Each structure stands twice: as C-alpha cells, then as structure tokens.
Structure 1
C-alpha cells in the first residue's frame, strides 16, 4: 500500500518537538512532582546541593534518554527482521534475541561480576547472536519451521527455555535478587556511562540500517524478486542480522529485557508511512523511542507511588496485538 511521501517527512520534521515534549513529560511526572522552572534551572544552572536538580540530571534525564534509545533500537531491529524474513510476527523479543542476550549476561553476572560496561555490551551482543542462531537453526531443520507462526512458536519456546535456564542459574548461584532487579528495574537505574557507550553504537546501527533500507524493501518482496533484480540477498541478510544483533544487544545491556516494542512499532509505522523501508526505518526509530518513553511515564502511575516495570506496560499492549496478528494474518504479509 502506497502512502503519501509527505507523511514520513512530516513525522521526521515534527520529531524534535515530539521528543522534547516527551522528555519534558518524563522529567516532570513521577513519584516526586517537579515544576518546569526547576527543570530549566537544573539544565542551565545546575546546583549539586539541590535535591530536585540531582533527581533531574542523575535519574530522570538519563532514564528518558535510555527509553528513547532503547525504543528506537528495538523498533529498528523489529522492522529489519520483519522486512528481511517477510514474517510480520518477527521481533527481537519473540525470536529469542533478547532472551539470548539476557542469558549470556546472567552467566557474566555469575562469573564476571565486575565486568566493565563495554564488556557487558559485547557479551550482550554475543547473546543476541546465540539466541537468534538457535531459533533460526531449529527453524531451518524442522519441516515448515521457517513459516511465520512456526518460527514465532520456536522463538517463544527457545526464549522461555533460555529465560528459565537463566533463573535456575541465578537461583543456584544466589544472584536471583540482582537478576530480578536488573530485569525489572534497570530503566530507572540506567548507568550514564553505559548510555554514552550505547549512543555511538546506536547511531552506527541506524546509519547502516538507512544505507541498506532500499535493499530491505526489495528483500521484503521475496528472494526470487530480489535475485531477479540483481540484489545480493545473502549479503543484505548478513548485514541486517549484524545490525539487529548490535542494536538488540545494546538495548538489553542498557535496560534489560523489554518485549513487544519491536513487534508493535514496525506495524504501526508501515500503516502510517507505507512499505518503503527508507521511510519505515527512521520513522520506526522515532515512534519506537517515543512509545517506550511514554510507556515508562505510564508505568509510574499504574501502582503509584510504586514503580511498575515498563515491560508490563508494553506487554499489556503487545500481547493482544500479537494474538490479533496470528488470528488475522498468521504473520504472512498480504498485498
């Protein structure tokens, strides 16, 4: 379905205003209310002795920036996976990518508890590759295993297995509390240092995704058409997988496991801007970042004044959406 090219340009042009508004909302609202003048003073005249200034600069600002980055990373990864595989049920959380990252990080927390931030990101990427490799490996050796619904089932089973194995290891080595905190509360305790490391990785992934976006559009038409148009499909798929591994691995290292962003946002984006991935990828990044940041704001009020994991909010939206896709489309792309 073709959309007017003015729509994606409108989203991109409006994105600075929308992001600033989202950042303001995230900083303003929480357990402790903060007024707009205090935010401005904290930015232009930071006072280390002021409690509100410290909350803004050391907690809420890094938190919303992490949510924007992670939402963008997961949305781009989901868009690439869906375009590359022609499977509209594909996403990092369903295809075992995030669970693979979390599994390897659990092992690292057991055996390398003092690992540096850069090592955490690297190991998380290795875990992403492991999870994706296991899921697609099983899919390739099973009859009809690469069909959308079967691959989603395999991904869910493998992801659940890896998650359960992580829990068993955490219980055995007595790090369950640390692991639970890391899974459920990481977004509001994000480390600014790892955030700085994640930024160049994310920008690199976004640039690479934009470079191959036209190729992904062609690939989404099917391998036969791609090959007939002279596209080197294996190279495009290899680069796509590397981008997904880097972005998802970094996202998990930043804030832990957050599901369904990579499933929901590409569908919403394609509905708005069409199927040209030159527009889908940047618009997915914008919409995904804002979606996760606003979900994080909503998570603060579900059980106020206590925090609810942001993954609960994304799951409340994502699970019905996932079931709707299975029922109406079976994950198959329809013209």
Structure 2
C-alpha cells in the first residue's frame, strides 16, 4: 500500500512538472522570466505577444491535455478490464469511429467549422456508437467480453467505410477529417474545456469506483455471479464511463491512439493486477504522457509543431515494444 501511495505521489509531481514545461515551452521561444512575469507578476516586463501566447494558447492546451490524458488512461484500463483483453483500447468499442463519422457528417451536411461544433458532433457520435455496440453485444445471452469486442470491431468497420466514402467525395470534409484525425490539443479554447468537464469528471469518478468490480470480473462471469455481483449492471456502468471519458476526449482533441493501450500495462508494473490502483495510475500516466508528448511536439519542429497524437505514437510504440520484450506483461 505504501509503495503504491509513494508511486502515486511521484506521478503527481511528474504531472506538475510536465504542466510547468507545457506552459513554459512552445513552438515560439519565450524566456522563462517572461513566462513567470506573465503568470505571477503584472506582465509589465513581458512582451504583449507573450501574454497572449501564455494565457490564450499554452494554459488552455495544458489544461485540456491533462483532462484528455486522464480520460484516455482511465478509459483504457476500463476497456481492458471489461473485455479481459490485454490488447484492447477504447477504440475497440467503436467510440473513436463513431466520433469521427459524426464529425465528417457534420462537416458534409451542416458545414460545421469550429472546435466546439466538432466536439458536439463527436461526442454525440461516440455516445450513439457505444449504445449500438452494447445493444448488439447484449442480443441473445447478454453482453460478455467476446461479444463486446466483436460488436465494436464490426461497427468500427462499418463507420470507417461510411466516413471514407464521404471524405472521398467532399474536399471540405476531407480537410477537416485529416486535421482532426491526427489528434491534437492545439487550437482549443476554454469553451471546449468547459464543455468536456461535465463528461470527464463523472467518467473519472465512475472509473475509479469501478476498480473493485473489475477485480471480481477478472475472475470470470461464473465466479462473478457466484459472488453475488450483477454482471449486466457492472458492464452497463463500465460502458457509460468509457463512453463519457473517451467520447469527450476524442470529441475535444480527435482520436489519441495508443495511449489507452499502453497506460494500463505500464500501471500494472507498479500496482500489480488490482484495478482499484490500475485505474487511477493509468489516468495519471495518461495525463503525464499526453502533456509531455505535446510539449515535445512543439519543441522538435520549431517554429512549427507536430501533433501530440503523432508524437505519442512515435515515442510510445518503441517503448511498448521494449516493455514487452524485457518483461512479461502482467495478466489482465
């Protein structure tokens, strides 16, 4: 217990350091003294453009990166726990495909252009996709890990094909989809952040509270029923939490792939198989990874920048491969 608490405290410190770096560093170089004056002084010693960059660009994207990273990390742990699949990430339930399809339809049919409009349509698409997956998986004997994965994979294929058909015939939809699909925290303001809070905060609370029941589900459905837990209710709560978290995160920033897969595996090295600790650890690791990759993307391509989703995949994939090769992954 004490080792896990110490690890959580260290993750919080690392998250604070990553947040400071996100505010202090960017594609445009600003001396740390100016950043400090903008944050804690009257801003008189800083350039006017520095004030705007820090307050209007860097702080909002740092806050959004924290929220989205928390959401994706927690959703990844929930997905692997409910599907009992170590290769599962939230996209396997069709949520990412649903959000992408809804955004493309919104651009093609209604001509949406702003980040808050993208978020509204993306969140609606994610919720519809998750509801359809759960309905399809529940037909017959009820939802189980296998039917959830099969239903999510099938729906993802259908929605991806529909999205591809639209972007091939409409240039505006293609341009919007290409930028949104990369996954980025740039260009989002406080309106998007405020819009995500009513979904991410309840989602994180449900995710953390689900840890005990995920431990029971890992024993198998028959043992879960023998211990008196209601499998259907537990899975419904899990699907709701995943939908709230990954739906809001994807709608706000686009699909941030790979993070939901790797964060729970890294968390298990510190926590063991106990989901009461895996879920919060995964959330913190997701936030740290996304914020740091966002900072790295801004620094390596000055004066331009590389989207956080691209950096995360480029950095995370070799790390995950090394993790698999050097140590045996803890069982889900």
TM-score with structure 2 setting the length: 0.83
Count, aligned residues: 325
CA deviation after TM superposition for structure 1 residue 240, in Å: 0.4
Unaligned runs of 5+ in 2: none
- C-alpha contact 1:93 1:260 (8 A) present in aligned 2: no
Q: Is residue 6 of structure 1 aligned with residue 2 of structure 2?
A: yes
C-alpha deviations, 1:152-208, integer Å up to 9, x for none?
798567546534532431343331223322333641111211102212321111112
Q: Distance in 1 between matches of 2:55 and 2:258?
A: 29
- C-alpha contact 1:30 1:297 (8 A) present in aligned 2: yes
Aligned to 1:249: 247
- C-alpha contact 1:89 1:152 (8 A) present in aligned 2: no
Q: Is residue 216 of structure 1 aligned with residue 214 of structure 2?
A: yes
Q: Is residue 168 of structure 1 aligned with residue 168 of structure 2?
A: no
Distance 1:259 1:173, change over 3 A: same
Aligned to 2:63: 65
C-alpha deviations, 1:9-50, integer Å up to 9, x for none?
123333443222101111222221222222222223357971
C-alpha deviations, 1:42-75, integer Å up to 9, x for none?
2233579710111111111111211111111111
Query: SS at 1:99's partner residue?
Result: helix
Query: SS at 1:93's partner residue?
Result: helix
CA deviation after TM superposition for structure 1 residue 123, in Å: 3.8
Q: Distance in 1 between matches of 2:165 and 2:229?
A: 45
Aligned to 2:272: 274
Moved more, 25-34 or 40-49: 40-49
Aligned to 2:31: 35
How do 1:250-329 residues align onto structure 2 when only pairs under 5 Å count? 250-319=248-317
Moved more, 155-164 or 302-311: 155-164
C-alpha deviations, 1:203-241, integer Å up to 9, x for none?
111112222221111112211121111101110100100
CA deviation after TM superposition for structure 1 residue 108, in Å: 1.9
Query: SS at 2:30's partner residue?
Result: coil
- C-alpha contact 2:26 2:295 (8 A) present in aligned 1: yes
Unaligned runs of 5+ in 1: none
Query: SS at 2:255's partner residue?
Result: coil
- C-alpha contact 2:184 2:308 (8 A) present in aligned 1: no
TM-score with structure 1 setting the length: 0.83
Note the aligned Cα RMSD (angstroms): 3.5
C-alpha deviations, 1:266-288, integer Å up to 9, x for none?
11101111122221111111111
Query: SS at 2:285's partner residue?
Result: helix
Moved more, 61-70 or 103-112: 103-112
Aligned to 1:78: 76
Distance 1:171 1:81, change over 3 A: same
